[in-house]
Amino acid sequence: MSVNGVEWTPGMVCVFDGLENVTGRVVQWYEQRLESMKAGEELREQNHPHLAERPHLDGSFTTSLPLSLNPQSVELPGGIELVEAEPIVDRKSVFVGRACRISDPSQVIAFARVSHLITEQIARQVPLILAFLMADRRVTKAAHPIINAWRCQLAAPTVYTHPPDNGDDGESAAGGRLAHLLQILDVKDVLVVVTRYFGGTLLGADRFKHINQAARDALELGGFIELGLREPSLLFNQGLIGGKWVESKSGATISVFNPATGEKLGTVPEMGLEETKEAINAAGRAFTTWSKTTAKQRHDILIKFYNLMKEHDDDLARIITHENGKTLAEAKGESAYSASFIEWFAEEAVRTYGEHIPSPFGNIRNIVIKQPVGVVSILTPWNFPSAMIARKLGAALAAGCTTVIKPPPETPFSALALAELGRRAGIPDGVINVVTTQKNVNDVAKEMCESKTVKKVTFTGSTPVAKLLYKMAASTIKKISIEAGGNAPFIVFDDANIEQAVEGAILCKFRGTGQTCVCANRIYVQSNVYAEFASRLAERVAAFKVGNGLEEGITHGPLIHDRAVEKVMRHVNDAVEKGAQILVGGSRIDRLGTFFAPTVLSDVPANALVNDEETFGPIAALTKFETEEEVIKLANDTDVGLAGYFYSRDVGRAWRVAEALEVGMVGANTGLISQTVIPFGGIKESGIGSPCNWSTILDLSLLGREGGHGIEEYMNTKLIAFGGL
Ligand SMILES: NC(=O)c1ccc[n+]([C@@H]2O[C@H](COP(=O)([O-])OP(=O)(O)OC[C@H]3O[C@@H](n4cnc5c(N)ncnc54)[C@H](O)[C@@H]3O)[C@@H](O)[C@H]2O)c1
Ligand SMILES: O=CCCC(=O)O
């Protein structure tokens, strides 16, 4: 039987949900009713104050919404077809929907595999549509209640309504009517999840809050496993160009996996040169207006952005854990860190002071002003899927620049969620663009570095890639900031507090399962305290609980992928071949996912690979030393210089060592140096200059320095010599 374009036959799976077309119908229906009732009171209600704020969607509500589910963007197995469904309207309710028809019941399992992609898309659209509908009093009056329903196959017919009862019988009445309708139509073997979001006269923001919880409950009840987000609408599987969520031109996609389970989380578009050019052009166009906003306007929008990040911090953290693997506690830490950059730079926006320089000529006044550099290309790594973007994005936006972000293919969802929150905060179309790519990375990165529209490139990642981008950016003498790899020495002198040193080593070495750029890579321990330090460290590391970061009690998550596990294994094998002992761990953990056992190696010779290359994994490699002079030489014997740490209670030694270490950042008696407020960055091949988050308060003499993510790095300095006085 066909009703409103949907085949309501048993054995078919329907995913029902509020979508386009309904608006016009509902409004028309209501206007007819209004006319017939000639009710002045209802007209007055249009101006009710709680409806004043319109949601993000603009445009006339009578136009059809550009929110249709695009079948091309979901890889559907054969025998599964997405169906356009007209809304079903009865006298009191509107059942709006999108259906997925499965011709062969055996395909239900295949459907289950892709259903989360479909439902993610749907779930993302629901709040927007409902917000859109809610913003117009006539719609909300007319659609009492509007129902959002997911329908899928189950053994027995069930109707579930959410919220179950709020003292207003709207939802149960609606659920009852839908159940009745299905009964009349002889539809069996279905689960209908009915979620009712508004109705009656009790409309307001409090009612709207239920939408996301309802969508989540419905998805879970329908057996659709998604990331357990409160607001699934933060998940995007498209890139963002000029304010539009878009697929790749080729239709190709990149699969994104959870490193803890190997489970495919979803896909994002495999974009290429053409999309990159479009994104750069969009950013170029947006620059003409964004750069003209006042610092205060940008401050206010960034504060909204920050507040949204705080509001959604649980969801942002869950996305990080799913795609990166770090524990939920660490992911929450990263999410807070990430938001703090947006807050910091909001506050910096209004402090981009200029200067007056007295002229030797009586008829000239020298004024120095700051102006945003232009379009900024942002390329980031997977180890901090959110914070490494926010550190750059916050500064760029605050300065008045527009951006093209290329997130890593391993962790694109955090980047896309950030971009969405930026949009919701009111950042205009084209100011943030996100180009996702993997195979086409060479073409995309080349364009991002060489395009004449781009005026600055900012990169965080490995040193070899940094060198490639540096060369490319040189072709147009762009401003560049580089945050590259490290090989941090961690030195324990015999006058150290050993307990604190062990604690510092745990924090520093094993943060993110050893996958941070400032992780200790080489641990040098003075011979007198070597045995004590090694045994205490080994005892602590043996107690780690390794596993899926979403689970309670897990202290350390997986490595990002197999290549990372192989590199760690290679470093362990090499050290052991050269005479090192394994005190703890030393091998891959035999389970699903890319896990390596946290490892402590002792007696690692100076010429071991682990002392030479950044391991980026959970190996604490201990090497014994005798004198301060010897260990400084060992510590500095590397081409990179990001962070260095030492533990000593001798004040004179502390100064000597801090000054002697060839690094951009020193931790003296601490293993944790990362903070929003510091000048984060390295020297030698770890980066260019010293990034200065606090650079606006620096003397102008520092402005010529390269590198870093302080707001000055995103601004040009211009002299205006006023003459003819
Ligand atoms: N100094 C810092 O602040 C800092 C912070 C975080 C990470 N890192 C470094 O990042 C590295 C780990 O991250 P990663 O593995 O994602 O680094 P990576 O260099 O492989 O990737 C970084 C970014 O560059 C892109 N990329 C990869 N190959 C490219 C190519 N040929 N051309 C252009 N772009 C390319 C990636 O897609 C990603 O977006 C480590 O070396 C770590 O020390 C440094
Ligand atoms: O991965 C390195 C950078 C993370 C941090 O800011 O501590």
Is pLDDT above 80 for 718?
A: yes
- Residue 635, pLDDT score: 98
In tens, the pLDDT along 637-682 reads 999 999 999 999 999 999 999 999 999 999 999 999 999 999 899 9
Secondary structure (DSSP) of 467-484: HHHHHHHHTTT-EEEEE-
- Residue 280, pLDDT score: 98
* Residue indicated by tokens 């329907």: 14
Mean pLDDT of the chain: 77
In the three-class reduction of DSSP (H, G, I as helix; E, B as strand; rest coil), residue 267 is classed as strand
Q: Alpha-carbon distance 310 to 302, whole Å?
A: 12
Is pLDDT above 50 for 189?
A: no
Q: What is the percentage of the chain residues whose pLDDT exceeds 70?
A: 66
Q: Alpha-carbon distance 272 to 275, whole Å?
A: 6
Indicate left, alpha or beta for 345 from its phi (over 0: left) and psi (-120 to 50: alpha).
alpha
In tens, the pLDDT along 423-459 reads 999 999 999 999 999 999 999 999 999 999 999 999 9
Burial grade of 264 (CB within 10 A; 0-12, 13-18, 19 or more): middle
* Mutation probe of ligand 2 site: the residue of 517, 615, 672, 673 with most atoms within 8 A of C-beta: 517
Does residue 145 have a cis bond before it (omega within 30 degrees)? yes
Please state the length of the chain: 725
Ligand 2: does its nearest atom lie under 6 Å from the Cβ of 382? no
Ligand nearest to the CA of 485: 1
Is pLDDT above 90 for 465?
A: yes
Give the DSSP letter of residue 587. S
The end-to-end CA distance of the chain, in Å, is 86
Q: Are the C-beta atoms of residues 330 and 549 closer than 8 Å to each other? A: yes
In tens, the pLDDT along 328-378 reads 999 999 999 999 999 999 999 999 999 999 999 999 999 999 999 999 999
Does residue 163 have a cis bond before it (omega within 30 degrees)? yes
Walk across the sheet containing 619-625 and list its strands. 581-584, 599-602, 619-625, 520-526, 488-492, 643-647, 665-668
Selected residue with higher pLDDT from 58 and 81 = 81
In tens, the pLDDT along 275-304 reads 999 999 999 999 999 999 999 999 999 999
Ligand 2: does its nearest atom lie under 6 Å from the Cβ of 643? no
Ligand 2: does its nearest atom lie under 6 Å from the Cβ of 508? no
Is pLDDT above 70 for 170?
A: no
Ligand 2: does its nearest atom lie under 6 Å from the Cβ of 384? yes
ipTM of the complex: 0.97
Structure tokens at 254: 């990149």
Secondary structure (DSSP) of 125-183: HHHHHHHHHHTSHHHHHHSTTEEEEEEEE-SS-EEEEESS--SSTHHHHHHHHHHHHHH
Report the separation in Å between the CA atom of 521 and the middle of ligand 2, taken as the mean of its atom positions: 14
Report the separation in Å between the CA atom of 674 and the middle of ligand 2, taken as the mean of its atom positions: 7
Ligand 2: does its nearest atom lie under 6 Å from the Cβ of 383? yes
Structure tokens at 356: 């007056």
Selected residue with higher pLDDT from 163 and 48 = 48
User: Which residue's C-alpha comes closest to atom 6 of ligand 2?
Assistant: 674
Assign 36 a pLDDT band (cuts: 50, 70, 90).
low
- Residue 119, pLDDT score: 44
